[in-house]
Amino acid sequence: MLSSVLRSERAVQVNVAIMRAFVGLRRMIATNETLARKLAELERRLESHDESIKSLFDAIRELMAPPAKPKREIGFHAIAKDRQQSRTAP
């Protein structure tokens, strides 16, 4: 446009430089748009992985925890008659 009004070599060079700048800007916007789309897709995929990894770590922690010791029973326990006879028999 500038070159059509001024009709000089310098005006042509400036006009070409402006067009190249706009083409570069369009490429950069398209690249960023593609990058943003890919990043959003990656985030969606990782969300499900995060939940899986968390449940995996929870299961590992559960396995690493020491087993609960059984509580000691309180009180008197009678021995059954058949077991008592086998103890006293010579």
The per-residue pLDDT for range 29-56, each reduced to its tens digit, is: 777 777 778 877 877 887 777 778 788 8
Confidence of residue 87 (pLDDT cuts 50, 70, 90): low
Q: What is the mean pLDDT of the chain?
A: 77
Number of H helices, E strands in the chain: 3, 0
Tell me: pLDDT of 4 over 70. Answer: no
* Contact (Cβ atoms closer than 8 angstroms) between residue 19 and residue 26: no
Q: For the chain, what percent of residues have pLDDT higher than 70?
A: 81
* Full-model pTM: 0.36
Tokens of 11: 């005006």
